[in-house]
Chains A and B, each alone.
Chain A
Amino acid sequence: MKPAHIIAIIAIAISIGFIVSFMGDASEYVDFNKAEDFAKKGKEKKVHVIGKLPKNPIGKVVGLEYEPKLNPNLFVFEMVDNAGRKEKVYYNDAKPQDFERSEQIVVIGSYNKNNQFVADKILMKCPSKYEGQQKQLN
């Protein structure tokens, strides 16, 4: 066997390894129910959940808890996922400055042992830039 062949075989093996782990890590966007299922089955998998912030009738975001003077590293908020389930999300970091203004939110995290959804990361989608302008132009 030529040495180049050995290298090629190793390379193919590694590539297959990547593909297998790629298939195995089939993470999808899920809702809170599914994320809870994962946690109950003992899977420590981080999931992406898409949702919106609940608002009161005058359009103010409700359910935000942030007391920086007591603890700047804990931010708790409520989020309604696409299936309509409202859940409290714990985020162990400072509240993002423009959080309330975001239209849609993706949280990446999982349920912990106490059945609390802990987000490691928050992605915010801000309203399309044109909306603001249209108001201004009119």
Chain B
Amino acid sequence: MREPNIWIGSVGHLLVLISFVSAITSGLGYFFSQRKEDLSEESQSWLKFGRTSFFVHSGAVLGVVLVLFSIVYNQMYEYFYAYDHSSNDLLVQYMIACFWEGQEGSFLIWIFWNVLAGGILIWKSKTWEKPVMSIFALLQVILTSMLLGVVFFDSFKIGSSPFVLTREVLDLPIYNPAFRETYNPNFIPKDGSGLSPLLQNYWMVIHPPTIFLGFALSFVPFAFAMAGLATKKTKEWLRPAMPWTIVSSAILGLGIVMGAYWAYETLNFGGYWNWDPVENAVYVPWLTLVAALHTMLTARNSSSSLKASIIMLSVTFFLVLYSTFLTRSGVLGDASVHSFTDLGLSGQLLLLMGVFVVVAIWIMFRYWKFIKPDNKEITTYSPEFWTFVSATILFLAAFQVILFTSKPVFGQSPPSNPMELYGSIQGFFAILVAIFSGIGLFYWWRKINPQKSLYQTLALPILVSMVLSGVLIFFLENNEDLQKEFLAAKGQFGKTALAWFKYLLIILIIASTMFSLVANGSLMFQVLRKNPRLSGGAVSHIGIALMILGIMYSAGYSKIISDNNSGLVYNKDAPEEFNKKNVLLWMDEPNRMKDYIITYKGMYVEAQGYPGYINQKYVRSLANDPYKLVAIKDISYNDKSYFKKGDTLTTRPENLFYRVEYRTKSGKLFNLFPRVQMNGIRKGEVVASPDIRQELGKDLYTHVTTIYPDPEKGREYSETQEIKVHPKDTFLLNDFVAVLEDVKRVTEIDAQKLTENEIAVKATVKIIGKNAQYTAEPILLVNQKENKMANIPEILPELGVRLTFKNIDTEKGEMIFSADVGEKDYIIMKAMEKPMINLLWIGSLVIMVGFMIALWRRMKENTPTGKTENITQKEEELTNV
């Protein structure tokens, strides 16, 4: 057994210390360079010091990342981080995911992105480098302090090191000198505790780093705003900060959508958004960031927009810190599916927030007076007014969510019905967002066609969108949830009113998004003809409208397919309010549900190199290695042969798939394979994930809720019958008619040749089931030399029977079987249709395109010479919208 490798962790810890110290020196260098007269020798030497320190800092951070990754990658379980998050059988791509499963790793990825952003700032930001980097370095000081893991006076802990040893954390007897006989401080666990199977998903490899990249980038415009104030260049910071605001909004938005898609695919709450605190914690700063983006567009012409931009950027960054605090301090406790354990950093996180609030407020307080007042008043018809309104809407939406998400901070329980609480209010704000994203852009039209009055420009789009929404509303399906609510209200005023309010929301969402689509659509075409670079706003607004519409349809009109009307009230006391969301499917017994006939077809497994799923009946597992299977039949996929009888397959034993066959009214057949994951080490974690069939107009979403047999307990048999029959005899088997067709000698079992001393006979029994005929082929094996008998029984999961070939009575010519009778295999599952969900994903892609167009334009605007790209007076004017 190898000795624990202590030095690599010491190197890592040393690098953390270096990165912390160099962040401090870098910040001081930049700060003093800024204080001294520009271009003076002193200033230049401080600048050089600051830069060099930042490069040292970058190198150290990169080193920490590499050390931690090599610890995880090489499965060095003497380190708690590797032990806690990795395991021997973890695939390489998921080792990247376990890198940021822990809090230390997620801080590290944030620090790493900051290093990249800082590098770009040093390279590109010229005169802004000094003030911006002073603030940037401060953030790095505080973030790297989170990884220090230094304890003062036995109790005062700063940071949590990712390089602590397992023996320092786990209180095992083997690490305890009191147990003298077993004590061994050099003990290295053989295997890690593994990554939660939920996170073994490609989205989990890219979603968290995307979020942290968004967090890192959103700090840059805040740093610019603070730098602008502190250097009294109150407006000049807007132009260099703009691309950062756009790119951070885009990336944070992308990260949110990725998380939503992961939740939709992997979790089984039946949707993509659960208003979980961790989701909210990213959604809220994104809203305020986008609010800042809007006010920044007009901040050059209006002091109120400028002030609003500075405030919104500060609020965004504060919210990023606050959400970090919420999700890592343990205050949320049970409120979240994302379980971050408390590392005892709450105090430090609060301090972090405090430092930035104090610094930001002090800068604002001191330099606010240098913001020049406007020459002209804001009128209702100015772009400034409309961007201000849109920012206000976004801010209020953010305020509602963060207020209620913070309930546990005030010692209260989290909201008991988050879907309703957030859904209805955010739905209302979505309507405002759609309306104002249309109206706001009309000011652009007024500039293109100044001769037309506002009413003339508005009239046609309103008319067209009213007609379109009328058509859509006419074709709306019955809303089952609302109908139930109306019924349940039984005429009570409050509840009826609430149901009407929800119905009104749906209609208004359709009308407002149609308006936004028509207005922004026609605008987009006009702009594309003139100057495509200016179309970013219109394109993103189209994307938002599509998303809102997609969310409304898929959430509001989600239809339960597995409607169960056969539920017997077996329990007299059962409450009346019935949900009938789950249905029980016996294996191989078709059930009619809504527009489908659904049949559960059995358990399946996956195998490396095989494109589909393999019926568990076609493979046998090896007792000594759960990751290997042996094929007992030739296995092919779409007529292409993949495995021959006797081949060894590699599988993921924790994943089981339950094949559900759907037959549509028109006779079309397709299968869904919802998954159940078990984790071998974290016993007790049984997780069901859906399988989703994506069609153009809707998704069909299916997941299991209960399964028999339980993968951990196996099948249970209640009684055993003995059967003695002659070949060709008919008999009863668990109330089914069965015939012993034939008894034959075989020379191999499961593709394995028998030895000389072995004789095997196989019985073929045909059983007539309710819906199909089944064949059982139990085998009796005799070893002549050792005079021993063995039986290989056949399990018929569709019938709940295990048939064993016991013996042959040679005198009477009778075949002796024993039949164990138990439960037939079944699953309980939930299925639903989510209409128009593709609008949501398409919309989010369209927004990304819009952001990219806007970024392209702002980058051109920032080209240093100004010659390559002449910004015409007209464009400059159009900038305002």
Which A residues form the contact surface with B (CB < 8 A)? 2-4, 7-8, 11, 14-15, 18-19, 22, 25-29, 46-48, 65, 67-74, 76, 88, 90, 92-98, 101, 106, 108, 112, 114, 116, 118, 120-121, 123, 125-127, 129-130, 132-134, 136-138
| Interface of B (DSSP majority class) | loop
| Interface flag for B644 (CB, 8 Å) | no
Given the contacts A73-B564, A74-B574, A129 and B193 also touching, CB distance less than 8 Å: yes
> CB within 8 A of B828: which of A14, A68, A88, A112?
A68
**Across the interface, which residues of A come within 8 angstroms of B379, CB to CB?**
3
Question: Among the listed B174, B414, B706, which residue makes an inter-chain contact with A97, where contact means beta carbons less than 8 Å apart?
Answer: B706
Known: A72-B584, A116-B573. A2 touches B377 (CB 8 A): yes
* Bound Cα distance A8, B311 (Å): 15
Q: Which residues of B contact A67 (CB under 8 A)?
A: 570-571
Residues of B within 8 A of A15 (CB): 396, 399
Looking at the complex, which of B209-217, B352-360, B682-690, B769-777 is the stretch in contact with chain A? Answer: B682-690
Question: Which of the four size classes fits the interface of chain B?
Answer: 35 or more
| Neighbour of A70 across the interface among B304, B400, B568, B580, CB < 8 A | B568
**Contacting residues, chain B, for A96 (C-beta < 8 A):** 705
Contacts of A28 on B, CB cut-off 8 Å? 411-413
Known: A22-B403, A97-B688, A137-B172. Is A7-B575 also a contact (CB below 8 A)?
no
Residue contact B579 to A3, C-beta cutoff 8 Å? no
Known: A28-B412, A73-B567, A97-B706. A3 touches B582 (CB 8 A): no
Q: How far in angstroms is the closest Cβ of chain B from A70?
A: 4
- Residue numbers in A under 8 Å from B569 (CB-CB): 71
Contact assessment for B705 and A18 in the assembled complex, using a CB-CB cutoff below 8 Å: no
A48 to B520: give the CA distance in the assembly, Å: 45
In the assembled complex, which residues on chain A have CB atoms less than 8 Å from the CB atom of B173?
138
The distance from the CB of A52 to the nearest CB of chain B, in whole angstroms, is 14
| B189 is an interface residue with CB less than 8 A from chain A | yes
Checking B377, B676, B682, B706 against A94 with a beta-carbon cut-off of 8 angstroms, the contacting residue is B706
9 pairs, CB–CB < 8 Å, chain A vs chain B: A28-B413, A71-B564, A71-B569, A72-B583, A92-B578, A94-B705, A94-B828, A95-B705, A129-B682
Main SS of the interface on chain A? Answer: mixed
List B contacts of A137 (CB < 8 A): 172, 174, 189
| Most chain B beta carbons < 10 A, residue from A88, A90, A137 | A137
Distance in angstroms between the alpha carbons of A27 and B826 in the assembled complex: 40
Question: CA of A70 to CA of B828 in the docked complex: distance in angstroms?
Answer: 12
**Which residue from chain A places its CB closest to the CB of B187 in the assembled complex?**
A137
CB-based contact B378/A74 at 8 Å:
no
Query: How many inter-chain residue pairs (CB < 8 Å) link A and B?
Result: 157
Determine whether the beta carbon of B579 is less than 8 Å from that of A123: no
Q: Check B415 for interface membership: any CB of A closer than 8 A.
A: yes
Q: Across the interface, which residues of B come within 8 angstroms of A134, CB to CB?
A: 170, 172
CA–CA, A129 to B304, complex, Å? 53
Contacting residues, chain A, for B676 (C-beta < 8 A):
97
A71 engages B684 (CB within 8 Å): no
CB-CB < 8 A to B570: which residues of A? 67, 70-71, 74
Most buried by B among A46, A72, A137: A72
Q: Are A92 and B577 in contact (CB under 8 A)?
A: yes
In the assembled complex, the CB of A4 is this many whole angstroms from the nearest CB of chain B, namely: 5
Shortest Cβ gap from B471 to chain A (Å): 33
Asked whether B755 is an interface residue with its Cβ less than 8 Å from the other chain, the reply is no
Q: Is B870 an interface residue (CB 8 A)?
A: no
The residues in B between 151 and 181 inclusive whose CB is less than 8 angstroms from any CB of A are 170, 172-174
Q: Smallest Cβ distance from B798 to chain A, in angstroms?
A: 16
Check if B417 is an interface residue, CB within 8 A of chain A: yes
CB distance from B564 to the nearest CB of A (A): 6
**Are A126 and B685 CB-contacts (below 8 A) given A18-B403, A22-B403, A72-B582?**
yes
A26 to B403, CA, bound (A): 12
With beta carbons under 8 angstroms apart, the residue of B412, B413, B574 that contacts A90 is: B574
Residues of A within 8 A of B411 (CB): 28
Q: Which residue of B lies closest to A3 (CB)?
A: B380
Tell whether, in the assembled complex, residue B412 and residue A27 are in contact, meaning their CB atoms are under 8 Å apart: yes
A96 to B: closest C-beta gap in Å: 8
Interface string of B379-395 (1 = CB under 8 A from A): 11000010011001001
Contact check, A112 vs B575: say whether CB atoms are below 8 A apart. yes
Q: Is B416 an interface residue when CB atoms closer than 8 A count as contact?
A: yes
Is B404 close to A, CB under 8 A? yes
Q: How far is the CA of A106 from the CA of B578 in the complex (A)?
A: 21
The answer to whether A27 touches B684 (Cβ under 8 A) is no
Residues A7 and B392 in contact in the complex (CB < 8 Å), given A26-B412, A72-B564: yes
